[in-house]
Structure 1
């Protein structure tokens, strides 16, 4: 099993995502053909083994799930649209047969003007319907025609969905890659960086054990947000159908429907920053048809966008890969360079499941290079000295946050050691899938100590902190997680994310009031909660001890009385026998 390709959680949720960028670069037909071959083999490249294809690629409709827990749950029907390559179910054709009495099979546009007029109006405004609307698009269309070996007047419904409703398909990046191989292969290259990325959104959604556990507990549709936000293995996440506009995909709003909220408040921190306000005030007047590689900072854009910063690959190149410069990786993996006092010092505890199987080295040669790339991006609008100081400040800030997380983890470590939860560990519900994790993964993946803990305690193991401790925000077992565990998870995954993103995007209020200040407050709340739990445990132990003493006194009294009665009876019997003599 090529689990190294998968990742174990998701965190969260996926990172920055993009749109059609870069100038129309001249490439040989041979190069484009090689790209096309790779793009159309999208799923073979991403999931190269039979096991991985069985987990994520082979279509099973709605009969079973995806990933290693596929036989534990059946997906909700909407997943046929979120993850079509795995779950799409073709229509039964009844409605289509009725429409054929009025329309021919080739009358897609005329029929859909009646059935789904919004689709048609979007398509009529799209480049697909106007393949020579300007010289740039005409040149791109000519290039595609050579690539696919036929003339294109328009890209029609059948080109993406097939000829027949009874064999209808939902297009995937592999289909888009036939005509757009450069963009698709750039998108595919996110896998080279490892998790988190966009193209493994399905894997990151279904691998965490709390996902199938919620199905087992009868709450499948409650995970609607997880399903929809992780459906990032599709081009129409940013180039919304059926317009598929590159200009739309270049605007920050293309990212914001996912990159907002609790665990990745990018929309809020960018949108409320000075950069965001300049964009809101002036962005309507910018030329969004212009490729990013041709943008002149301060002239075309007075302030950067998500795409302008995150799609920059250096040396004037922009590509459909926003994760190459990522260093802190959402801030969820413990970094080296902190003198941990808590169990974080032992992270990843022998676990060999990515992304749980390493500590982050911020100052590795690769990450130093990525940081310098960020300095170069920021220096397009700021002085290099300011850019470098800002980057170093972000790193220092994150180390401070991790010191606080270590302090919080130590508080929880003590509660676990004392088993001072409101309900003892052995009386709580299991960790998600805790009853099968040990046998399913084995000591090689879980690590010897984690494996033994799950195996010997039947899954009733308290797990806190990065990353599996996120079940505190995703699960609803009986008495698991407890209040103090939820407080901690909320602090390190939510408040710390606001602090991180606030600094990264230059939004001071979110960095402080919704970030660092909340982290500080939660530390004190955790200390108070821990003190109350320990006091409560001590009180109950005292009561138990008093009960034992009281019970022992009662038993002793009873024994004493019985002994006196027996002694008296013996004397009476002896005296009576003497009198008879």
Structure 2
């Protein structure tokens, strides 16, 4: 066979192969009503593009595999003659991914929605539209569906690609784990671990979020966490409070864990850390962070004592009974836990920033091996906030003393004092005190 004949044979072979592939794709589209119809609907082009690049598409897991509903399903509806659900639930996902759903249910992500719904700060947001754009955007990772299952797989595996590789990247966690009250992405990015990862994405020298929090592909992101836990962390007690929150010895609302819980979690985390570090180094870093957590909690405890004493003496301005009611606790003094950032006093507002921001930066920064967050954003700011609270306490008490002196003048003068002069002095002193406070606030 000459070269021309060989060339023609090769061309014919590729033309036949291309025609066969095109025919196969055409048959697939024709055989699947969802793909066939949505291919012609421009509005869903992005959905099909993502799906076509997914492992679902490779394994012929088409739209109906996830969206098909059973008769009687609460969230089902008829669509072009098919009974479907608009948003597949974790219950639907568990038909193919039972282990992953079970692991997810064991972790704290699964509680995101139910905890949010009971929170005072969520309830205090004016309306549903605002809540949807704020809290619900992140807490929907634990969304509860009509079938009772909880979770939102596409919080990490964005639809309709549902890429495991995408979910392993630090950016997958960034939308929710950032900001004033839990800046984990910045703790990580500006730590040595994060810097190494940013410099060389192909390296295996440094861990990402999933290395420590989703070891081996588990979907239980709570594994190995001890005093860190979620929200305000945890303290060691003689009982495990489970998913409930109780008051710590420092007066902070948080979870309690037993020493056995602590030891088990610490062993798990040390096993992970020891793949790169010596166990003694890893243990030292974690124990240093434990100490920062305890000392930082104690600072917040000092502030709680000051504000509680003001409350007991009736000196908060305004007192809780003279404000709009807290959606959960009513007119009780509420510090940490269900404390809100509105309808409060100035000293309580200062405390909110102390416990919700600086406290978290101190110990979460330490657990993420970020010295700057642990110190300047955390411990240093905690101490500064405490000094402001102490100063406000002194001011409120001095004002109370002056008001008491004025009240005494109204009811009678002291012996040996020129009538009317004591009241004049008290009024002048009060005016000076108010002026000092106003000047301080302007600064």
TM-score strictly above 0.5 = yes
- Give the whole-Å Cα distance in 1 for the aligned partners of 2:231 and 2:175: 21
Per-residue CA deviation, residues 495-547 of structure 1 (Å, 9 max, x unaligned), is 11111121111111111111111101000011111111112222222222323
- Give the whole-Å Cα distance in 2 for the aligned partners of 1:110 and 1:223: 31
Equivalent residues of 1:263, 1:493 under 8 A apart: yes
Q: How many residues align?
A: 354
- Give the whole-Å Cα distance in 2 for the aligned partners of 1:174 and 1:540: 63
Question: Shift of the alpha carbon at 1:221?
Answer: 0.8
From 221, 236, 250, the counterpart of 1:322? 221
Residue 139 of structure 2 is aligned to residue 230 of structure 1: yes
Equivalent residues of 2:242, 2:255 under 8 A apart: no
State the structure with bigger RCO (CA 8 A, min sep 6), 1 or 2.
1
Q: Does the C-alpha gap of structure 1 residues 531 and 258 become closer, same or farther in structure 2, counting only changes over 3 Å? A: same
Structure 2 matches for 1:111-126, cutoff 5 A?
111-112=40-41, 114-126=42-54
Equivalent residues of 1:210, 1:433 under 8 A apart: no
Structure 2 runs not aligned, ≥5 long: 1-31, 70-77, 142-150, 249-253, 414-443
Per-residue CA deviation, residues 179-205 of structure 1 (Å, 9 max, x unaligned), is 111211221222xxxxxx111221011
SS of residue in 2 equivalent to 1:503? helix
Structure 1 runs not aligned, ≥5 long: 1-102, 132-153, 191-196, 287-300, 338-350, 435-458, 551-581
- Give the whole-Å Cα distance in 2 for the aligned partners of 1:278 and 1:237: 26
Equivalent residues of 1:202, 1:230 under 8 A apart: yes
Equivalent residues of 1:108, 1:157 under 8 A apart: no
Match of 2:79 in 1: 165
Match of 1:332 in 2: 232
- Give the whole-Å Cα distance in 1 for the aligned partners of 2:278 and 2:326: 50
Equivalent residues of 1:394, 1:503 under 8 A apart: yes
Structure 2 matches for 1:28-427, cutoff 5 A?
107-112=36-41, 114-131=42-59, 154-162=60-68, 164-165=78-79, 167-169=83-85, 170-190=87-107, 197-215=108-126, 221=130, 224-232=133-141, 233-283=151-201, 285=202, 301-312=204-215, 317-328=216-227, 329-330=229-230, 332=232, 335-336=235-236, 354-356=244-246, 364-427=259-322
Q: Does the C-alpha gap of structure 1 residues 334 and 488 become closer, same or farther in structure 2, counting only changes over 3 Å? A: farther
Structure 2 matches for 1:444-523, cutoff 5 A?
459-465=330-336, 467-468=337-338, 470-471=339-340, 473=341, 476=342, 480-523=343-386
Structure 2 matches for 1:9-28, cutoff 5 A?
none
Q: Does the C-alpha gap of structure 1 residues 334 and 414 become closer, same or farther in structure 2, counting only changes over 3 Å? A: farther
- Give the whole-Å Cα distance in 2 for the aligned partners of 1:352 and 1:419: 36
Equivalent residues of 1:334, 1:402 under 8 A apart: no
Q: Does the C-alpha gap of structure 1 residues 357 and 402 become closer, same or farther in structure 2, counting only changes over 3 Å? A: closer
- Give the whole-Å Cα distance in 2 for the aligned partners of 1:331 and 1:460: 24
Q: Does the C-alpha gap of structure 1 residues 223 and 419 become closer, same or farther in structure 2, counting only changes over 3 Å? A: farther
- Give the whole-Å Cα distance in 2 for the aligned partners of 1:318 and 1:409: 41
- Give the whole-Å Cα distance in 2 for the aligned partners of 1:503 and 1:421: 34
Match of 1:530 in 2: 393
Q: Write out the 4+ residue segments of structure 1 that deviate beyond 6 Å after TM superposition.
A: 103-106
Equivalent residues of 1:334, 1:360 under 8 A apart: yes
SS of residue in 2 equivalent to 1:335? strand
- Give the whole-Å Cα distance in 2 for the aligned partners of 1:391 and 1:414: 35
Equivalent residues of 2:358, 2:379 under 8 A apart: yes
Q: Does the C-alpha gap of structure 1 residues 334 and 541 become closer, same or farther in structure 2, counting only changes over 3 Å? A: farther
- Give the whole-Å Cα distance in 2 for the aligned partners of 1:334 and 1:307: 22
- Give the whole-Å Cα distance in 2 for the aligned partners of 1:367 and 1:178: 34
Q: Does the C-alpha gap of structure 1 residues 373 and 279 become closer, same or farther in structure 2, counting only changes over 3 Å? A: same
Equivalent residues of 1:336, 1:362 under 8 A apart: yes
TM-score, normalised by the number of residues in structure 1: 0.57
SS of residue in 2 equivalent to 1:419? coil
Per-residue CA deviation, residues 476-509 of structure 1 (Å, 9 max, x unaligned), is 3xxx311111111211121111111211111111
Report which stretch shifted further, 232-241 or 178-187. Answer: 178-187
- Give the whole-Å Cα distance in 1 for the aligned partners of 2:242 and 2:175: 33
